[in-house]
Each structure stands twice: as C-alpha cells, then as structure tokens.
A and B are shown apart, each in its own frame.
Chain A
Amino acid sequence: MANLTRRQLLRTGLAAGAMVTATQCARGTPNNPAPGPTVNTNQTKDVTLRFIGTGVSQINEIRQKAEEDLGFKLEMRALSTEENNQIAITQAGQYDVFDGEYFSLPLVVPSGNLQPVDVSRITAFDQIVPIFTTGQLYDGAKVNSSQGTAPHRVMFLTDQESTEFAPEPTNWATLIPFQYNADTLGYRPDLVGREITSWGELFNEEFRGKTSILDIPSIGIIDAAMVVEALGLMTFGDKGNMTREELDQITQILIEQKRAGQFRAFWKTFDESVNLMSSGEVVLQSMWSPAVTAVKAQGIECIYAPLQEGYRAWGGGIGLSRNLSGIELDAAYEYINWMLDGWVGAFLGRQGYYSAAPENAKKFMSQAEWDFWYEGKAATEDMIDPFGTKLESAGAVRDGGSFNDRMGNVVVWNSTMDEQTYLVQKWNEFVAA
C-alpha cells in the first residue's frame, strides 16, 4: 500500500494524543500492574484478561462460556467504535486484548500499542476464511477485488517488531478475525411496496423524507458512494480511499439531497436505526444486520436487501496489547484458540454474523442452522438466536442467500482514508448544511 508512509505519521500523532489524554486524566487512570512472570506456574487460573471492544462483540454469554472452558477471568468493556479506537491508541495500560475492526488498524497499529499475534501459535489458523489472509474467496468473486481497507491488506505485519503492514501473509498477524458481515440497505417492504435492488434507491424521490444514512463519517461516506455510483452520478478510483475532489463532489451531492429533504434523520447507534425503522419514520436506510433482526423481532417486516452493486463489508478481530507477556500472554493465546474452536463461531452464526473459521462453527450448529445461515437454504425449523429470541420461522430464507453469495459480492470494506481529516471536515459541512 503506497499510502503506508503517510500513515506512519500517525505514530507521532497518536503518541502525542496519548500524552494529552493521559495528562487529562491526571494520575487517575487505573493502570494495571505490569503483568510479569511473578507467578511461578503454568496455571493461568489467576489471570484476568481485560477486553475492550464494541458492544457487538462484548457479549456476556461468550465471557461466561470462555471463563468456564478456560478457567481464567475475562473483563469486558463495551465501547463505541470511536472510544474503542481512542483507548486502543492512547490508553495502552487499560486493556490486554483489543477487540476491534480491521479498518481501525491504520490508526491503531502505528501507535505501537499492539503486539503481533504469532500465527504459529494459532492452531486453527489454516481454517480461517481466505478473505482475511489472501483476500481471495473463490474464483470470480467480487470480493477478490474489493476496495477500501479490506482485512487482508492490514492482516499481517512485516515482522514481530514492525508496525508496517505486509502485502503478503507472514507469521505476524495484527488481529485474528472474530466476526464479520456484509452490510447493505434495509427496508420496510410493507411501506415501500416493491423490491429494492439498487443502492441508488436511497436517493429516489419516491422515498423523500423517509430515508436515513449512517452518521459515522468513514462508513456513511462509503454508503453514499455506493448510492451515487449506482445512480451514475460519480465514479471513484477507490471508494475506500477517496481523493479531495471526490470528497468535495460527493459532499455536494449529499448536501443537495439533504436540502431537498431526502433524509428523515441520520443515525449513529444501533438502537437509533432500529427505532427509525420500526416506527416507520424511515422506510429505507443503510443498516446493520442485527438491527434488521431487531426490527423483525418486533413483528415488523424488514428486508436486508441484496443489491445488484454488492455489499459494504466489515470485519472485527482480536489483537494483543503490547503490555501482555508471560502467563497473561499465554492466556490470551488460549482464548484466541478457544475462540476459533467453533463454539463462539456457532454463537455468532445464530445471530447472523459469520465466523472466521466456519467449518469449526459448523460442528456446534445444527444442520438446519448451518443450512439457513451459511447455505442460504430455507429454514426447516424456527431459527432461534443465542438469547432465545425467534429470528425466523420455518420456511424463511436468509436475505441475500448463502455465505458465498453475500461475502462474495462485497465490493468495498469499511475504510480509513488518507484524507480522513478532510473527510471529517466535509462530513461536518454536510451535517451543518
């Protein structure tokens, strides 16, 4: 990646940021005593691993199961994506395990707060979906040439001490994938009245005042890019790494749409998107998969539309704090191996997310579950999520179909752009317009 040198600048910036945040918190931050090899035993029983991550991944049931199976303790903190990144970059002492998204890595890795994961210690590494390693899913899949911060571009570091991303797989991984999914538009078929097959529909006058877009600049802009590209209004060199001119142009289009009253609202959190949709305030919007599920759980029809232009995808994984060593580090590796072992994969699968090692997850899923979630077949029985909620009735088919149909059609990934600052500035302009 040619822009890596640019990103090197982050190192100074984030170190300074860390200093600012640290000084602002004065001496109050509860720094963990440096984990050292003081306990002279192989036992990891006394270890407590401190996780930071987004709400999507910090799940109590997983923590309980892990503690039960592994014998040590986990402490989880659910944060917003932004907070998660800020802590990862500036508060190295506050976490042992970073559960974050791949597109955060161009920001987080230069801080030097993560230590590369030794791939040779990951038993199921070869079972990890190739999206993450080589970037190739199957011949002819759109995902093979997807734009943006695709996980495989930031998956490996050149060596153990490096903070430079390697273009080819090495033994040193940044994150071990935890979960991922393909995002698209969701809509209310009862209120829309027809099938939605293109991103371009988001700007269709038919839905004036009834659409919404995600108000996280780096994700929202990509959704917007999918829309304008679908409408033929613009073309992009790389939707995941726009130029200033492209940003100017797309912001202009967004502002025009906003002024024309196309949007009902912008949403920032999961709950907001669910409320907008279930209340009928919005009938078509960019959405996250579990939000669609949550709307459906209220007995309201909602479709997570497979669109002809393809999906925007995201992936999250587990990384290790630079501070980890000794038995704590051992424990963290134990956790990663446990995570890939399948129980977690099945757990995530039942919510509609994909597991990094699907074959292992399959071992913990019923045939009906596997067929529905991964194969895109009609459900032969009711689909129940891990929390006991019925998500789908027998006979339903997953929107978008099978794993290969969905992940294979990913055309762009959540991204950190070179022009991130300019993007935020333009996005603020859009919000203020």
Chain B
Amino acid sequence: MLKSWKSVEPYLLVTPQTLVFLLFLVFPIATIFIVSFWEFTGYSMTPGFTLENYRNIFTSQVSLATYLNTFKFVGLVWFFTLIIGFPVAYFLAFYIDSLRWQIILFLVCTIPFWTSNIIRMISWIPFLGREGLLNKLLMGIGLTSQPIDIFLFSDFAVVLAMVHLYTLFMIVPIFNSLMRIDRNLIAAAEDTGASGFQVFKEVILPLSQPGIAIGSIFVVTLTMGEFVTVRLMSGGQAASVGYLIRNQIGSLQYPLAAANAIILLIVTLAIIFGILRTIDIRKEL
C-alpha cells in the first residue's frame, strides 16, 4: 500500500502543473493551429483544411510591411533597452551595496507599471506633445523655432514608450548575472593589470551574457506581440503584427488571425532559438 503510494506520488505532484500547462497553453495553441487551416469566406469560417490563410499572409504586401515594421520596433527597442538597462543594472550591482537600497531602486524602475496604458499615454502628451514640456524647452533654448511633431504619435514615440516600459525586463536578468560575478574575479583582473575598460570587456561583459540573453528574450517576446503601446503611441498610425491580429479578431476573422498568430509564434521562437544558440544561459537557471 505504502509502496504503491510512493510510486504514484511523483506523478501526483506534477499533475496540477501538467494540467495547467496542457489546458492553458498546449490546448489553446493547438486550437489556434487547427483554426489557422480552416476555411474562411466573407464572414464565415468552416472547419476544413486550406493553406489559403497562410498563402494570403505570405503574398500580402501589407503583412510583409507589417512584419518589417515589427522587426524594426523589436530591433530598436532591444538595442535601447540594452544600452540603457545594462548601465542601470551595473550601477545597482556594483555601486549600491545595501540590499535595501537595491530593492528601493528596483521599485523605482517598476514605476512605469503602476499606471494603465491609457493614463501613461495621456501623461506623455504634456511632455512630448506639440505644446509639451520638451518642445517648450527646445524652443526656449532656441534649438528649434517650430514645435517638433515627431516626439508624439510617431515611431519615435512608440520606441520611447516601449523602451520606457521594457527596460526593467532587461535590467533584472542582467542585474542577476552581475550579482553572480565573484567580486574576486574583478580584483583578480585588476591585479593582473586590467584597466577599468578591460575588466569590463574581458570579465564583466562575457559573464553577464546569460543575463543579456534572458533580458533579450523578454524584450523581444514582449515587443513582438505588442499592440497596445504601438497603437497608442503612434496614434494608431503604425502597424505591428500584434495589432494586425487584434484588428482581425475584432472583425471576427479568426482563421486569418490564427494563421498570423502561428507565424508570429514561429518567428518569435526562431529568434529565441537564435539567442540561445549564441549564448549559453544554463548557468542562470
């Protein structure tokens, strides 16, 4: 009796997680996958098997342009979150000694998440808008005589808002990596004559790569599927794949949306795979 309990125990322990995984991840994705092959004419869709949805996407100039635009956002957001997030993580890890202050400063980094998207967008207007602080400042110091429109409702604004939001996802894993670097390694590098820059290049940067990789995965995945920020900050004038899918769902075009979602998923996974092939993150896990 006891023996048989022992043998089923491990299976019982993993059952809830497995069920959650199957029910809320595998099953929905499988459903989306199946629906992406359904036939779709006008407003109706019928179970079946057609590659028309995919053919549609692959031959459409709009989806190509939309994917390129999404990649542009991903690339820019990734780049800026990295060059902004790394120094912040570095500062937190190497210049802040007390855990208390590290936590407080981390909370400061989460401030962008304390408000809703719409509130955030509203609050960008007085800053970036035509009459906004930034334009007033630039005009005040004589750098420009006309208000600059591209600060808001532009690709610039989209990238700015996403960088503002997602830098935290870069900071945390990089911070984690940096905290794991034995401080003696840095002392050892200095001891053998490495300059500050050499210590960074030879020791800190290589050892923070797993953190950069994990942060990149977060940022890339979040940005690939992003549509709310894209819509609000571009004033609806820029497209992203997520936004395209959302519009299709909104118009009840489920098979098209499903096919797009599957392609987005595959593209995102391919990028993650590429990152993992480049950098070994096992040490972080």
CB distance from B259 to the nearest CB of A (A): 13
Interface stretch, picked from A40-48, A81-89, A129-137, is A81-89
Which residue in chain A gives the minimum CB-CB distance to B44? A13
Are A425 and B62 neighbours in the complex by a CB distance under 8 Å? Answer: yes
A279 neighbours in B (Cβ, 8 Å): 125-126, 129, 131
CB distance from A164 to the nearest CB of B (A): 16
Which residue in chain B gives the minimum CB-CB distance to A83? B250
Are A16 and B45 neighbours in the complex by a CB distance under 8 Å? Answer: yes
Cα-based distance from A17 to B32 in the complex (angstroms)? 12
B66 at the interface (CB under 8 A from A): yes
Are B247 and A421 neighbours in the complex by a CB distance under 8 Å? Answer: no
Contact pick for B62, options A6, A17, A26, A428, CB 8 Å: A428
Cα-based distance from A16 to B43 in the complex (angstroms)? 11
* Chain B residues with a Cβ closer than 8 Å to the other chain, count: 50
Are A428 and B247 neighbours in the complex by a CB distance under 8 Å? Answer: yes
Cα-based distance from A378 to B5 in the complex (angstroms)? 84
B98 neighbours in A (Cβ, 8 Å): none
CB distance from A13 to the nearest CB of B (A): 3
Which residue in chain B gives the minimum CB-CB distance to A106? B43
B65 at the interface (CB under 8 A from A): yes
A172 at the interface (CB under 8 A from B): no
CB distance from A331 to the nearest CB of B (A): 30
CB distance from A188 to the nearest CB of B (A): 12
Given contacts A17-B254, A267-B235, A428-B239, contact A12 B46 (CB under 8 A): yes
Give 1 or 0 for each of B218-237: 1 = CB within 8 Å of chain A CB: 00000000000001101111
B231 neighbours in A (Cβ, 8 Å): 215, 268
Give 1 or 0 for each of B19-57: 1 = CB within 8 Å of chain A CB: 000011001100100010010111111110000000000
Are B252 and A263 neighbours in the complex by a CB distance under 8 Å? Answer: no
Contact pick for A427, options B24, B41, B232, B247, CB 8 Å: B247
B122 at the interface (CB under 8 A from A): yes
B-contacting residues, A63-99, CB 8 Å? 82, 85-86, 89
B130 at the interface (CB under 8 A from A): yes
B152 neighbours in A (Cβ, 8 Å): 281
A7 neighbours in B (Cβ, 8 Å): 43
Are A16 and B247 neighbours in the complex by a CB distance under 8 Å? Answer: no
Are A12 and B237 neighbours in the complex by a CB distance under 8 Å? Answer: no
Cα-based distance from A26 to B27 in the complex (angstroms)? 9
Cα-based distance from A16 to B153 in the complex (angstroms)? 38
Give 1 or 0 for each of A418-433: 1 = CB within 8 Å of chain B CB: 1011001101110111
Cα-based distance from A129 to B27 in the complex (angstroms)? 50
A-contacting residues, B146-181, CB 8 Å? 149, 152-153
A429 neighbours in B (Cβ, 8 Å): 61-62
Interface stretch, picked from A138-146, A226-234, A269-277, is A269-277
B31 neighbours in A (Cβ, 8 Å): 20, 23-24
B268 at the interface (CB under 8 A from A): no
A86 neighbours in B (Cβ, 8 Å): 249-250, 252
Are A428 and B131 neighbours in the complex by a CB distance under 8 Å? Answer: no
Which residue in chain A gives the minimum CB-CB distance to B235? A265
Cα-based distance from A82 to B248 in the complex (angstroms)? 11
Give 11 CB contacts A-B under 8 Å: A16-B47, A17-B254, A263-B235, A263-B237, A266-B235, A268-B231, A269-B118, A276-B235, A421-B43, A428-B248, A431-B239
Given A212-B235, A264-B149, 16 new contacts (CB under 8 A): A9-B44, A13-B42, A13-B45, A16-B47, A20-B254, A24-B28, A86-B252, A264-B153, A268-B231, A271-B118, A275-B121, A276-B235, A281-B153, A420-B251, A425-B60, A431-B247
**Ordered nearest first, which 6 A-B pairs have the shortest CB separation?**
A265-B235, A13-B44, A266-B236, A432-B239, A82-B250, A9-B44
